[in-house]
Amino acid sequence: MQALIEATDIHAWYGTSHVLHGIDFRLQPGETLGLLGRNGMGKTTLIRTLLGHVPQRAGSIRMRGRDLSRGRPYEAARQGTAYVPEGRGIFPNLTVRENLVMAARAGTAGQRDWTLQRVLDTFPRLAERMDHLGSQLSGGEQQMLSIGRALMTNPDALILDEATEGLAPLIVAEIWRVLGEIRRTGLATVVVDRSYRTVMANADRLMLLEKGRVVLEGPAADLQEQPQALSRYLGV
């Protein structure tokens, strides 16, 4: 099966600071990958490098077989990879409806499975806020809007960086419920989240980063049985 994302020997730098040290990364169609590691270990940088946001990088990056080693973020989006960044990235001066509609497009195979209606059915709270501006939404609603916008692009892969950060427990539960639904539709997802237990319970495969290197990788069910390794790398 052709991988949605296949990257080998990825390095990244911020100025003279060498942050990623030779990471191999693969995302298969339909799988949920949990990316774990303590603060500052390189999770966000890895995602941003794969998507072409970090200019100082080396290594090979392919999306659906296409070489994007020197690719720009819009090229990753065109290859079906949608990104929900930390901090959400919605348009504060546009309404919920405008934020969603302007993101709409067909997927890589021309699919239009995610319509405005389906996104609103998935997030009923957004349906109630259609004419509110992005800036008028609560943090949880903004996060739902950010995920809704990503779904409107009919992606093959959805990458979520700290999607539940700073949100109230009920909203966190709601977001994980939706991620479960999305997972069952067969959309591949990469999830970065601090609540490692929830990630473990909701992912097929886990990858642990430590100082810009992969230190542990495998099926979530296997890693759950290695509490010493998890406590060593996650400090839990």
Ligand X SMILES: Nc1ncnc2c1ncn2[C@@H]1O[C@H](COP(=O)(O)OP(=O)(O)OP(=O)(O)O)[C@@H](O)[C@H]1O
Direct distance between the N- and C-terminal alpha carbons of the chain, in angstroms, rounded to an integer:
36
Establish if 16 lies at the interface with ligand X (CB under 6 A).
no
126/158 with CB nearer ligand X: 158
- CB 224, min distance to ligand X, A: 21
45/146 with CB nearer ligand X: 45
Establish if 88 lies at the interface with ligand X (CB under 6 A).
no
- Segment (H or E) for 173: helix 169-184
**Which of 95, 91, 89 has its CA nearest to residue 73?**
89
Among 4, 7, 19, 152, binds ligand X (CB under 6 A): 19
Identify the bridge partners of residue 179 per DSSP, sorted by sequence position. Answer: none
Establish if 37 lies at the interface with ligand X (CB under 6 A).
yes
- Segment (H or E) for 176: helix 169-184
Residue range at the interface with ligand X (CB under 6 A); choices 35-43, 77-85, 120-128, 218-226:
35-43
- CB 177, min distance to ligand X, A: 23
- Segment (H or E) for 27: strand 17-27
Among 40, 55, 65, 186, binds ligand X (CB under 6 A): 40
- How many helices (DSSP H) and strands (DSSP E) are in the chain? 10, 10
Identify the bridge partners of residue 13 per DSSP, sorted by sequence position. Answer: 18
Establish if 14 lies at the interface with ligand X (CB under 6 A).
yes
- CB 42, min distance to ligand X, A: 4
- CB 2, min distance to ligand X, A: 28
Residue range at the interface with ligand X (CB under 6 A); choices 25-33, 43-51, 120-128, 151-159:
43-51
Establish if 43 lies at the interface with ligand X (CB under 6 A).
yes
**Contacts of residue 187, Cβ cutoff 8 Å, sequence gap at least 6:** 30, 155, 156, 157, 158
**Which of 143, 218, 142, 217 has its CA nearest to residue 176?**
143
How many residues line the site for ligand X (CB under 6 A)? 11
Residue range at the interface with ligand X (CB under 6 A); choices 32-40, 106-114, 140-148, 178-186:
32-40
Q: Is 144 left (phi over 0), alpha (psi -120 to 50) or beta?
A: alpha
148/212 with CB nearer ligand X: 212
Residues found near ligand X in the complex (CB under 6 A)? 14, 17, 19, 37, 39-45
